[in-house]
Amino acid sequence: MSVAPLTTADVFTLRAEFPYFANPPMNEGVPVAYLDSAATSQRPFRVLDAERAFLERDNAAVHRGTSQAVGSATEKFEGARAAVAAFVGAAAPEQIVWAEGATDALNIVALGIGEANAGLGVEGSERFALGAGDEILVTEAEHHANLIPWQRLAAKTGATFKYVPVDEHGTWSLDAARDAINARTRIFAFSQVSNVTGFVSPVAELVELARAVGAVTVLDACQSVPHIPVNFDSLGVDFAVFSSHKALGPNGIGVLYGRPEMLDALPPARTGGSAITKVTMEEAQFMPAPLRFEAGTQPVSQAVGLGEAVAFLSEVGMARAAAREHDLVTQLIEGVLDTPGLRLLGPQGVDQRVALAAVSVDGLHAHDVGQYLDEQGVLVRVGHHCAQPLHRALGMASSTRASVHLTTTEDEIDRFLDALRGAQRYFKVEVAR
């Protein structure tokens, strides 16, 4: 099912729909090259306008009281949930839980399983029973957000914490996962696309392995949802998360997806108003998902903004955007591989890679590279990208990451590559040519 990629002309039309690109910050008379969308994406006018319009006209306390205004605000809030559900392939809007961000969404799952094991479960929570002899599995490539909550859950429950090790490029194979999964594996948490290597994991096959041993799968989809078509129901994962601000939406909101039977069996870790059915002075009973997980005031205008963001992405077409980004990443990877003195992290080609490339410049620290790139008006991320264990496994503390999005131009990638070479010259790195 190949589709025509967005053309360069399409991209310039799209850029006009973003205030950041329509009227860009300038550096020495040249617009900055924004190559940091894997950290946070810029937002279209439409998204900002939707949020503002909601706050100006429709703001009301959703799911509380009886007024028409509340009814209308609640419809918009729940409409956004339905839009997000449709966008990520969830059959029902109830499979979408609002969280503060993707990190929070992962914590809702890990902490919820912890509650289930502390005797605070709901009907069906037995499926999350964890104890000595059980194993929680992640990969060595995970973002800290998909690592630390699981380390702590293991410590809390007495389960064993294990990981699929990465190879010399920071990637890992289905075989390595197969070696690590066994009958004791209860949870397998992994990312669809690594935020450091861009490596795309074989989700469907991994889900099959996990299912065969009855393990719960948790997918970090932060770097996939903004870049490729994703259908969580078809992938078969039990839980998945992604962030709004990396997908053209507002900050302060993220998404937890769950299969209905999983969400229904997961107890809430944070409790309070409006997530409940009946409360006495002794105890509380909880709403079904998703409201069970949404105690307290919700990020309502942010949800409306995120609903608009996924509408924008749907109209552009994720398959066309993905095809375009594949071409851009090809240009990026080829440029890196053709430049002496650069080490490319992750797959040594474009297969099994999405949206980004991290490099290490021989003889230079990433912060020095980043400083030079910054002066050239090329905005990238330098550091460990919240993945210290992965960098440690590769024998480095940090790297320089350029990430592309549907608004990225070929010229911006050339500027990144030129700036890397410029940094080598500036710092007088000796490069064998």
Partner 1 sequence: MSALDGLYQEVILDHSKRPVGKGEFAAPEGTLSASHHEFNPSCGDEITLSVAVSPESGKIESLAWEGQGCSISMASASVLSQLVRDDSLTMAEARTRIDAFREMIQSRGAVEPDEDLLGDAVALQGVSKFVMRVKCAMLAWVALEADFTQIEGAGK
Please tell me whether residue 419 binds partner 1 under the rule CB under 8 A.
no
Q: Determine the 3-state secondary structure of 97 from DSSP.
A: strand
Please tell me whether residue 24 binds partner 1 under the rule CB under 8 A.
no
Q: Which is nearer to partner 1, 326 or 365 (CB)?
A: 365
**Nearest distance from C-beta of residue 253 to partner 1, angstroms:** 25
CB atoms within 10 A of CB 120: 14
**Nearest distance from C-beta of residue 166 to partner 1, angstroms:** 17
Please tell me whether residue 375 binds partner 1 under the rule CB under 8 A.
yes
Please tell me whether residue 287 binds partner 1 under the rule CB under 8 A.
no
CB atoms within 10 A of CB 133: 10
Please tell me whether residue 365 binds partner 1 under the rule CB under 8 A.
yes
Q: Which of 66, 428, 430, 433 touches partner 1 (CB under 8 A)?
A: 428
**Segment (H or E) for 336:** helix 318-337
Q: Which stretch binds partner 1 (CB under 8 A): 155-163, 184-192, 248-256, 423-431?
A: 423-431
Please tell me whether residue 397 binds partner 1 under the rule CB under 8 A.
yes
Please tell me whether residue 152 binds partner 1 under the rule CB under 8 A.
no
**Nearest distance from C-beta of residue 119 to partner 1, angstroms:** 36
Q: Which is nearer to partner 1, 45 or 427 (CB)?
A: 427
Please tell me whether residue 303 binds partner 1 under the rule CB under 8 A.
no
Does the annotation count 222 as an active-site position? no
Q: Determine the 3-state secondary structure of 61 from DSSP.
A: coil
Question: What gap in Å lies between CA 423 and CA 27, rounded to an integer?
Answer: 17
Tell me how far apart the 2 most distant CA atoms of the chain are, in Å.
Answer: 76
- Between the CA of residue 246 and those of 234, 243, 431, what are the distances in Å? 23, 6, 36
Question: What gap in Å lies between CA 378 and CA 335, rounded to an integer?
Answer: 16
Q: Which is nearer to partner 1, 162 or 384 (CB)?
A: 384
Please tell me whether residue 195 binds partner 1 under the rule CB under 8 A.
no
Q: Which is nearer to partner 1, 74 or 399 (CB)?
A: 399
- Between the CA of residue 306 and those of 83, 129, 229, 249, 398, what are the distances in Å? 9, 34, 17, 5, 31
Task: Read off the tokens for 4.
Answer: 């025509």
Task: Identify residue 171 by its one-letter amino acid code.
Answer: T
Report which of 160, 221, 180, 156 is spatially closest to residue 355, judged by C-alpha positions.
Answer: 221
DSSP character string of 368-412: HHHHHHHHTTEE-EEE-TT-HHHHHHTT-S-EEEEE--TT--HHH
Q: Which of 391, 401, 405, 415 touches partner 1 (CB under 8 A)?
A: 391
Q: Which of 20, 45, 161, 426 touches partner 1 (CB under 8 A)?
A: 426
Q: Which stretch binds partner 1 (CB under 8 A): 62-70, 226-234, 299-307, 382-390?
A: 382-390
Interactions with partner 1, residue window 114-143 (CB under 8 A): none
- Between the CA of residue 422 and those of 96, 328, 360, 415, 416, what are the distances in Å? 46, 21, 14, 10, 10
Task: Give Cα 305 to chain centroid, integer Å.
Answer: 17
Residue from 90, 122, 247, 386 carrying the catalytic annotation: 386
Please tell me whether residue 398 binds partner 1 under the rule CB under 8 A.
yes
Q: Which stretch binds partner 1 (CB under 8 A): 72-80, 349-357, 370-378, 401-409?
A: 370-378
Q: Which stretch binds partner 1 (CB under 8 A): 48-56, 86-94, 249-257, 381-389?
A: 381-389
CA count, 13 A, side-chain hemisphere, 196: 29
Report which of 397, 249, 399 is spatially closest to residue 312, judged by C-alpha positions.
Answer: 249
Q: Which stretch binds partner 1 (CB under 8 A): 31-39, 46-54, 92-100, 369-377?
A: 369-377
Evaluate whether 387 touches 143 at the Cβ level (below 8 Å). Answer: yes
Task: Read off the tokens for 131.
Answer: 């104890």
Q: Which is nearer to partner 1, 20 or 427 (CB)?
A: 427
Please tell me whether residue 343 binds partner 1 under the rule CB under 8 A.
no
Please tell me whether residue 327 binds partner 1 under the rule CB under 8 A.
no
Please tell me whether residue 334 binds partner 1 under the rule CB under 8 A.
no
Q: Which is nearer to partner 1, 388 or 409 (CB)?
A: 388
Q: Which stretch binds partner 1 (CB under 8 A): 36-44, 148-156, 187-195, 359-367?
A: 359-367
Catalytic positions, please? 386
Residues of this chain that bind partner 1 (CB under 8 A) = 365-368, 371-372, 375, 382-384, 388, 391, 397-398, 426-428
